[in-house]
């Protein structure tokens, strides 16, 4: 049997210089693999001629307690660990490996589930009620699910920044920086591949290296040789082994961050200075229309991008005043008429500010979300028998800023190059 407490999840950014990290506060991880196979028939035959095998499609969903850390966001966006602000365009080219290290109840290590080159397809930030902990939910898409077991049970990852100009050699297992690392094991589906993948980041440009052209691996002495290295290079290396790194574990308990951010530690404003009272629920949903393209003669994704993005904000409250409607209409609380058909539709739109703190005193800012250029799209009201009336407003836009720097909450632009990091 395999209990969730013995499944240890990691994320490894493929691009950039950010390193492997644990996926903390994870509440649910689910995967759906569609093999995309279709049977082939022909006229004159009763039965199947064969099966057309297409590239699989993988959908991975994760639900995580909101705990006020930007670390996982930076990993998803392939930004540096020190980055303090993320905008939606940061997810256009980002890719991540999701690794789940699994141990049976008996204590025997079973293996590593790898979801390679996963891209963000959408996510939610959701506060379901005043009694709930804020939640993050993510959907990632990819093309493969691999379970490594037996002699290949552990996926090991190296991030190396010690390159020198010219020929550069990394020695695994025997000596030097990586002496504690296990010996790479041959991929059983191949005759010579001991290395799963090597990504190089050179001056901000990410390239997947080709074995035999950009690097070689010697299985006799466990040397990886790069033929044309540069001192600015960061190399990310993946391989499998029969054991993990000596003296290390795949997952380290995070006892430094808060367990989560309850609803009472959140402040929500609509436009500048307008605190939203009586809120019962608040949700920010982001959905990408991805443009991840294949090509004839290749089973891999060759171009990645996002051609459209939609940010939907939904606020639910008990009806006491029409403050939100007044703000959307652009009138004061003393105005005599709120006509939904006259809600603002200017390009500037409305803004939503979500401030998260480490306690209900709200003195130590942890993380914030800002949605700009929002336009109202729907209103609903419910008056159930023997209960108070509730109102829900939905707004839509294309911008979201995620930041752990309080000063960024008041910026007026949402371009990755102009937000303070």
Domains of the chain and any CATH numbers = 157-241 (no CATH), 263-410 (2.30.110)
- pLDDT for position 36: 86
What are the tokens at 419?
Answer: 């937000």
> Percent of the chain at pLDDT above 70?
86
| CA–CA dist 77, 34 (Å, integer) | 25
| CA–CA dist 79, 120 (Å, integer) | 14
Mean pLDDT for the stretch of residues 402-416: 82
Which residues 6+ apart lie within 8 Å of 45 measured at CB? none
> Percent of the chain at pLDDT above 90?
67
The H or E element containing residue 326 is helix 323-329
Question: What's the alpha-carbon Rg for the chain, to the nearest Å?
Answer: 25
| 347: pLDDT strictly greater than 50 | no
pTM for the structure as a whole: 0.90
| CA–CA dist 395, 371 (Å, integer) | 10
* β-bridge mates for residue 87, sequence order: 401
| CA–CA dist 237, 125 (Å, integer) | 33
Say how many CA atoms lie within 13 Å of 376 toward its Cβ. 20
pLDDT category of residue 330 using cuts at 50, 70 and 90: low
Closest-CA residue to 256 (of 1, 25, 14, 2): 25
What are the tokens at 377?
Answer: 């799209």
Stronger pLDDT, 64 or 306, i.e. the higher one? 64
What is the CB neighbour count within 10 angstroms for residue 104? 12
- pLDDT for position 44: 87
Question: Which 3 state secondary structure label does DSSP give 397?
Answer: strand
| CA–CA dist 151, 362 (Å, integer) | 51
Do residues 121 and 141 make contact, with C-beta atoms less than 8 angstroms apart?
yes
Mean pLDDT for the stretch of residues 122-144: 96
Per the listing, tokens 């009806």 go with 319
pLDDT category of residue 328 using cuts at 50, 70 and 90: low
- Give whole-number Cα distances, 181 to 66, 99, 242, 243, 248, in Å: 34, 18, 11, 9, 10
Task: For the chain, give the mean pLDDT.
Answer: 88
- pLDDT for position 327: 62
Mean pLDDT for the stretch of residues 274-288: 91
Lowest-pLDDT choice from 16-20, 49-53, 205-209, 227-231: 49-53
Mean pLDDT for the stretch of residues 342-354: 71
| 112: pLDDT strictly greater than 80 | yes
Lowest-pLDDT choice from 126-140, 154-168, 374-388: 374-388
| 64: pLDDT strictly greater than 70 | yes
Mean pLDDT for the stretch of residues 1-20: 85
| 390: pLDDT strictly greater than 80 | no
pLDDT category of residue 226 using cuts at 50, 70 and 90: very high
Lowest-pLDDT choice from 249-263, 272-286, 355-369: 272-286
- pLDDT for position 279: 86
Lowest-pLDDT choice from 164-168, 208-212, 345-349, 408-412: 345-349
- pLDDT for position 333: 56
What are the tokens at 300?
Answer: 């891999």
Beta strands in 107-194 (DSSP E): 109-127, 135-142, 146-149, 154-160, 166-171
What are the tokens at 36?
Answer: 């995309």
Stronger pLDDT, 342 or 186, i.e. the higher one? 186
| CA–CA dist 293, 286 (Å, integer) | 21
| 67: pLDDT strictly greater than 90 | yes
Say how many CA atoms lie within 13 Å of 244 toward its Cβ. 12
- Beta strand pairing status for 266-270 and 298-303? unpaired
Closest-CA residue to 62 (of 155, 156, 142): 142
Stronger pLDDT, 384 or 130, i.e. the higher one? 130
- pLDDT for position 278: 83
Mean pLDDT for the stretch of residues 104-110: 87
- pLDDT for position 241: 98
Mean pLDDT for the stretch of residues 176-203: 96
| 99: pLDDT strictly greater than 50 | yes
| 395: pLDDT strictly greater than 50 | yes
| 229: pLDDT strictly greater than 60 | yes
């Amino acid at each position: 049997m395999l209990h969730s407490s013995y499944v240890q999840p990691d994320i490894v950014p493929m691009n950039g210089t950010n390193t492997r990290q644990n996926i903390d506060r994870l509440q649910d991880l689910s995967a759906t693999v569609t093999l995309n196979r279709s049977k082939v028939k022909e006229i004159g035959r009763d039965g199947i001629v064969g099966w057309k095998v297409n590239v699989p499609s993988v959908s991975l969903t994760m639900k995580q307690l909101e705990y006020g850390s930007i670390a996982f966001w930076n990993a998803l966006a392939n930004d540096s660990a020190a980055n303090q602000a993320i905008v939606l365009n940061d997810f256009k080219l980002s890719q991540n490996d999701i690794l789940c290290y699994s141990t049976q109840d008996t204590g025997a290590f079973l293996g590593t589930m790898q979801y390679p080159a996963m891209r963000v397809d959408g996510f939610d930030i959701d506060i379901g009620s005043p009694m709930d902990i804020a939640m993050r939910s993510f959907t990632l898409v990819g093309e493969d699910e691999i379970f490594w077991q037996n002699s290949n049970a552990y996926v090991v990852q190296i991030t190396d920044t010690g390159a020198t100009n010219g020929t550069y050699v990394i020695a695994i297992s025997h000596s030097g920086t990586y002496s504690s690392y296990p010996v790479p094991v041959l991929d059983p589906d191949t005759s010579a591949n001991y290395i799963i993948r090597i990504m190089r980041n050179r001056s901000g440009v990410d390239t997947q290296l080709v074995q035999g052209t950009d690097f070689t691996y010697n299985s006799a002495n466990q040397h990886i040789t790069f033929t044309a290295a540069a001192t600015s290079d960061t190399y990310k290396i993946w391989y499998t082994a029969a054991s993990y790194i000596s003296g290390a574990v795949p997952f380290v308990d995070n006892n430094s961050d808060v367990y989560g951010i309850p609803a009472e530690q959140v402040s929500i404003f609509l436009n500048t200075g307008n605190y939203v009272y009586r809120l019962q629920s608040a949700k920010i949903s982001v959905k990408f229309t991805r443009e991840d393209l294949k090509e004839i003669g290749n089973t891999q994704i060759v171009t990645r991008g996002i051609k459209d993005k939609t940010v939907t904000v939904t606020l639910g409250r008990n009806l006491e005043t029409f403050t939100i409607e007044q703000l959307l209409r652009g009138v004061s609380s003393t105005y005599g008429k709120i006509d939904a058909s006259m809600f603002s539709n200017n390009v500037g739109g409305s803004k939503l500010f979500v401030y998260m703190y480490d306690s209900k005193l709200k003195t130590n800012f942890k993380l914030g979300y800002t949605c700009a250029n929002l336009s109202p799209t729907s209103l609903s009201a419910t008056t159930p028998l023997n209960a108070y009336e509730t109102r829900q407003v939905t707004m839509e836009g294309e911008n979201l800023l995620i930041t752990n720097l309080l000063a960024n909450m008041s910026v007026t632009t949402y371009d990755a190059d102009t937000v303070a990091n």
